[in-house]
Structure 1
Amino acid sequence: MSNVTVFGMGSFGTALANVLAENDHNVLMWGKNEQSISDINERHQNSRYLKGAQLNSAIRATADLQEAVEFADIYLIALPTKAIREVVGQIDSLLSDKKTFIHVAKGIENDTFKRVSEMIEDTLSPEHNGGIGVLSGPSHAEEVVIKQPTTVAASSQSSEVSQLIQDLFMNNYLRVYTNDDLVGVELGGALKNVIAIASGVVAGMGYGDNAKAALITRGLAEISRLGEQLGADPMTFLGLGGIGDLIVTCTSTHSRNFTLGYKLGQGLTLDEALNEMNMVVEGIYTTKSVHDLAEEQHVDMPITNALYGVLFDDEPVDQSVAYLMGRDKKAE
C-alpha cells in the first residue's frame, strides 16, 4: 500500500486515482476547482469530467497544496503540459526530501521542445528528484473508470521507477507493460494528438475509412521519422505508446483532439470549436511545437504542416487536404 497524490482533477487523473484506490492505495487528489473537490469528497463523483461515473469512496480531494505535498512520497502529475512547470515549481518549493514523479501529460513544450519528463527534471531541485516516469498508451478515461480492459506502457530512465508504476496501477482490467524507451513513449503520446486532430478533420469533412486509414498510417510514418531523429527506438512506435495510442485517439469520439478536428472539418473556426468544448486540447499546442521542431531537425512532416496551416494560418481544411493529395510522387 502506497500514499499517492494526484495533481490535477481532469478526466484521466480522476480515472487513475480510482484505479489506485481500487488497488488499495491511499489517494489524495489536488486541484483548484472547489466544485470538483466537493463533488469528489461528498458524492464520490467528478461530474464535470466523468459524468455518471462512481468513484471509490476512499479518494479524497483538497485545494491545499501543502497538504497534497505532505500526504505522499509518490506524485501523479495529471495536468496540461502548459501547467507543468508552474505546479511542479510550487511543489518543489515545499519539498524537503526526494519524491517520485509519474506523469500522464501528452505534450511537447513550445519553444524549448522539451518532453514532459524533461520539464519536470528542469523544474525540480536535484535533491528532490527521486525518479521520473510516464504512464502512456491507449486509455480513454471514460473506459478506464468503468473498468473496461485497457493496456498501457510505463517508462522511465530508471527501471525501478518503471517497475513501481507497473506495480501501482496493474490489476485485472488495467494491464501495464514496462518499456525502457522513455523518449519514444513520451513522443508517441504527444505526437499522436497532432494526427488525431487531422483525423477528426477528415471525418468532419465526410471522408470515409480509406482516408482515415491513410491518415493514420502516414501519420505513424511522420511520428517515427521525428522520433528516430530524436533518439527513440523505432520499435516503440509499433507498441502501445505508438500505434496503440494513435489508433484509439484517431478513431474515438472520447478523444478531445479528434473531436476538435471533427468540428474544424465541419466548418467551425478554431475559436468556435474550442468554445463548444470543456477540456484542454493538447494537440493544438503540440502541433506548434512539432511543426517548429521538425523544421529545426529537417524532418519531413506534411500532415503536421498541413494542420499547422489550419490551426495557426487560417488555411481552409479543403485546401490542406488538396495539398496533401497533390504532393510530388514518391516511394513509400
Structure 2
Amino acid sequence: MTHPSARAAVFSAGSWGTAVAKILADAGSAVTVHARRDEIADGINRTHRNPGYFPDIDLPASLTATTDPVAALEGSDYVVLSVPAQSLRDNLAAWAPHIPDHAVIVSLMKGIERDTRLRASQVIAEVTGVSTARIAVLSGPNLAREIMEGRPAAATVACPDEEAARRFQTACHTSYFRPYTSTDVVGCEFGGAVKNVVALGVGIASGMGLGDNATAVLMTRGLAETTRLATAMGAHPATLAGLSGLGDLVATCTSPLSRNRTFGTHLGRGSTIEEAAAATRQTTEGVKSAEAILDLAHVHGVEMPITEVMAALLHEKISLDEAAAALMQRPPKPER
C-alpha cells in the first residue's frame, strides 16, 4: 500500500485515465481526476461512477473529480497524463506552471506526435522543462474495461530514475494490478505506439476474413519491425519481449475491446476511414501516429513494411485489396 498522504492528479476522465485513477485510489492514494466536462466531474462526485465511460462500475470514495486543472494539481505527488498524444502539447502548456516541483509526471500515452515525431515523454520534457528523472511511462497489456472490473493485469513502469519508478510502482500496486519496473523508457514507448498500428492491420485482416494464420503472421512480423525501430532508437531488445512490447501487442491485436483492432475491423469490412472513426468513437492512436512512426523509420533506415502499408491505406494512397496483397506478398527472405 502507498502512504495515505500520497496524492495523484489524473488528466483526463476517459476510459484509461479513469481505470488508472481507480488503481491509484485502490492502492491508497487520494486521487483527483480532471474532467473536461461538468457532467462527468459531477457524476463522479455525486454517484462515484463515471457516467461517460463506466456508468455501471463503482469508483472508490477517495477518488474525486474537478474541471479545474489548478485544483487537481495542487499538492500532487504524481501527475498522470492520459490525453490523446496529438493534443498533449497544447494541454500540457496550460497545466505545466501549476505542476508541483516534486511531482513525478507519468505518461499513459501510446502515440508519436505527428509534427515533431517525438515520444510523449519527450514532449513532456520539452513543454515542462522537468528533468527526465521525474518523467515515467506506464505501459502494458491494459484493457481499461477489464481493469475496471478488477480482472488481473500487469504493466511496466519505466523511468530513467529507478527510485522514481519504484515509488510509482508502489503507488499503483493492487491485488489485481501488478506493475514491474524498467529504466527503458524508449522501448516501452515504442512498444506502446507501434502495436497500435499493427493492431489496425490485424483488425483489417480479421474484417476481411483472412484467418488466424494471417493474424499470427502480422503480430509476429509486427513485433519484429517494432523491435527494429525501438533498438535503432536506443531501446533494449528484451523490453520488446516484455509486457510493454509483446504483452501489449497481444492484448491490442486479439481483444474486441481494443480500439485500434476494432477500427481496423471496420475498414476490413469495407467501411471508410470516416465511418470507422464514427463507429469506434474514442481516440485511435494508431491512425494518428502511423505516418510519424514511418517517418522515424525512414530517418533511421529501418524497414517497417506493415507500418508502411497502414500509413498508405490510412492516407488513401492504396486500396484495401492492395493493402492485403502488399502485407502478404513480400519477397521471401531469411527470418533473421
TM-score of Structure 1 vs Structure 2, range by shorter chain? over 0.9
- Which SS does the other structure have where 1:135 is aligned? strand
Q: Does 1:32 align with 2:32?
A: no
Instruction: Please name the residue that 1:198 is paired with.
Output: 201
Q: How do 1:304-315 and structure 2 match up within 5 A?
A: 304-315=307-318
Instruction: Please name the residue that 1:63 is paired with.
Output: 67
- In structure 2, distance between residues paired with 1:323 and 1:36: 44
> Which residue type is aligned with residue 254 of structure 2?
T
CA-to-aligned-CA distance 1:166-206 (integer Å, 9 cap, x gap): 10011211011111211101110111100011110000111
C-alpha contact (below 8 Å) 2:112/2:119 kept by paired residues: yes
Q: How do 1:280-299 and structure 2 match up within 5 A?
A: 280-299=283-302
The structure-2 alpha-carbon separation of the partners of 1:81 and 1:268, relative to structure 1 and needing over 3 Å to count, comes to same
- In structure 1, distance between residues paired with 2:253 and 2:68: 37
Q: CA deviation at 1:96?
A: 6.2
For structure 1, list consecutive stretches of 5 or more residues without a partner in the other structure: none
Instruction: Please name the residue that 2:322 is paired with.
Output: 319
From 43, 47, 57, the counterpart of 2:47? 43
Q: CA deviation at 1:278?
A: 2.1
C-alpha contact (below 8 Å) 2:132/2:160 kept by paired residues: no
- In structure 2, distance between residues paired with 1:184 and 1:118: 13
Aligned positions, number: 331
Identity of aligned residues (%): 37
Q: Does 1:87 align with 2:91?
A: yes
- In structure 1, distance between residues paired with 2:58 and 2:331: 53
- In structure 2, distance between residues paired with 1:74 and 1:328: 49
- In structure 1, distance between residues paired with 2:144 and 2:63: 16
CA-to-aligned-CA distance 1:29-72 (integer Å, 9 cap, x gap): 00211221112111111132224222112211101111112141
From 172, 181, 200, the counterpart of 2:184? 181
Taking structure 1 as the reference length, the TM-score comes to 0.96
Q: CA deviation at 1:314?
A: 4.5
- In structure 2, distance between residues paired with 1:76 and 1:96: 13
C-alpha contact (below 8 Å) 1:189/1:241 kept by paired residues: yes
Q: Does 1:106 align with 2:107?
A: no
Instruction: Please name the residue that 1:172 is paired with.
Output: 175
Q: CA deviation at 1:95?
A: 4.4
Q: Does 1:214 align with 2:224?
A: no
C-alpha contact (below 8 Å) 2:73/2:100 kept by paired residues: no
The structure-2 alpha-carbon separation of the partners of 1:322 and 1:130, relative to structure 1 and needing over 3 Å to count, comes to closer
- In structure 1, distance between residues paired with 2:72 and 2:45: 15
- Which SS does the other structure have where 2:178 is aligned? strand
C-alpha contact (below 8 Å) 1:47/1:53 kept by paired residues: no
- Which SS does the other structure have where 1:79 is aligned? coil
C-alpha contact (below 8 Å) 2:203/2:253 kept by paired residues: yes
Q: How do 1:152-163 and structure 2 match up within 5 A?
A: 152-163=155-166
- In structure 2, distance between residues paired with 1:96 and 1:130: 15
Q: CA deviation at 1:324?
A: 2.2
CA RMSD of aligned residues (A): 1.4
- In structure 2, distance between residues paired with 1:30 and 1:158: 27
Q: CA deviation at 1:15?
A: 0.8
From 112, 122, 128, the counterpart of 2:126? 122
Q: Does 1:262 align with 2:300?
A: no
Q: Does 1:233 align with 2:204?
A: no
> Which residue type is aligned with residue 331 of structure 1?
P
Instruction: Please name the residue that 2:10 is paired with.
Output: 6
Which has the larger displacement, 242-251 or 273-282? 273-282
- Which SS does the other structure have where 2:106 is aligned? strand
> Which residue type is aligned with residue 76 of structure 1?
V
Q: CA deviation at 1:77?
A: 0.8
Taking structure 2 as the reference length, the TM-score comes to 0.95
